[in-house]
Amino acid sequence: MQIIGMLCATGAALFWACAIIMFKKSGDLLSPTALNLFKGIVTLVLLVPTLILSKTPFFPQRPIEEWLLFGASGFIGIALADNFFFMALKRLGAGLWAVVECFYLPSVIIMSAIFLNEEIGVQGVMGAVLVVAAIFAGTYSGKLVNCSKRDLFTGLFWGGLAVSLMAASIIIVKPLLEHTSVLWASFVRLLAGVAGLLAMAGLHPERKTIMAVLVPSQAWKIALPGAIVGNYLAMMAWLAGFKYTLVSVAAILNQLATIFIFILAAIFLKEPVTFPRLIAILLAVAGALLAAGSA
């Protein structure tokens, strides 16, 4: 089953990278909360018939603690982390986000050491240091990013928070995934995430604008395929990767999204391939590899 987990983790990275390019384009038209709510509802609509066709029960007999943990995972990873991700992507662009996303692997390694009792040594710490160095390399040149200093630093803040919360959302359910259907886990996480987003939208001063995302518009042309690829396909592949292989192996293969985003952003978003950005990507990937090697 290890090979299945590795293929799923790699597939999740590719799906996510493709979705980020589409989300960046649609993010110019929609607010972070609106885009997040849209992708959540689209995925839920797709997931319901998927569960029916696969004969996966919607409400199986499971301990209440498991329902709560998967629900918490969904709220943290979808309602919060994904919202912060869209806020960061809007400010940083896909290319620089690819560097920030490399915080994901060190975050998973550190949290797995703390909460899952997996060992982390000097090598893991060095990997994290390289990722931090990558952030500085990526932001060193004024020509590297097309945003103000304020957008740059707020984008880095929201991005770091998004990645940390995403790592936490998978760590808290990793022990349960070994004996849980990926489809059911996705369903519960999504229910909690969408419920959280609806509550946030209801309290938002621009709630009418946010809810208007559910009405067909030009933004759907990019947001809809982005939601299908980046949430429906990527989320299930991501969970399956952690279910069928080790945390460190799945996390390092997820980190391939950094390379995919870098390439796709240059091709489709025409983001510049500069020397500082290339150095940043290399440092980030090296740090990710080093951190994973410590697990």
Instruction: Please state the rounded mean pLDDT for residues 185-213.
Output: 95
Rounded CA separation 119/210 (Å): 44
> What is Dmax (Cα atoms) for the chain?
56
172 has a pLDDT exceeding 90: yes
The identity of residue 274, as a single letter, is T
The identity of residue 133, as a single letter, is A
pLDDT at site 215: 93
Tokens at 80, concatenated: 């919060």
Give Cα 218 distance to the centre of its chain: 25
Tokens at 193, concatenated: 């995430």
Rounded CA separation 65/262 (Å): 40
User: DSSP string spanning 41-72?
Assistant: HHHHHHHHHHHHHTT--SS----HHHHHHHHH
Phi first, then psi: give them for residue 119, nearest 5 degrees: -75, 145
* Share above pLDDT 70 across residues of the chain, in percent, rounded to a whole number: 89
More confident residue, 18 or 123: 18
Helices 32-53 and 2-27: crossing angle in degrees, nearest 10, is 140
- What is the number of other CB atoms lying within 10 angstroms of the CB of residue 154? 16
- Which residue in this structure is represented by tokens 């998978």? 170
pLDDT at site 144: 47
Rounded CA separation 139/134 (Å): 9
Tokens at 51, concatenated: 């569960």
User: DSSP string spanning 154-170?
Assistant: HHHHHHHHHHHHHHHHH
Q: How confident is the model at residue 138 (pLDDT cuts 50, 70, 90)?
A: low
Contact 245, 9 (CB under 8 A): yes
Rounded CA separation 252/230 (Å): 18
Q: How confident is the model at residue 86 (pLDDT cuts 50, 70, 90)?
A: very high
The set of residues, in sequence order, having a beta carbon less than 8 Å from that of 169 and lying 6+ positions away, is: 72, 73, 74, 76, 77, 78, 81, 189
* CA Rg value for the chain: 18
Q: Which range, 70-74, 91-95, 121-125, is most confident?
A: 70-74
More confident residue, 186 or 260: 186
pTM, two decimal places: 0.83
211 has a pLDDT exceeding 60: yes
pLDDT at site 103: 82
The set of residues, in sequence order, having a beta carbon less than 8 Å from that of 67 and lying 6+ positions away, is: 188
Tokens at 273, concatenated: 């391939």
Mean pLDDT taken over the chain: 86
Contact 108, 251 (CB under 8 A): yes
Rounded CA separation 274/85 (Å): 24
What does the CA dihedral 61, 67, 70, 74 come to, rounded to 10 degrees?
120
pLDDT at site 136: 66
Give the start-to-end residue ranges of the domains of the chain: 1-293
DSSP 83: H
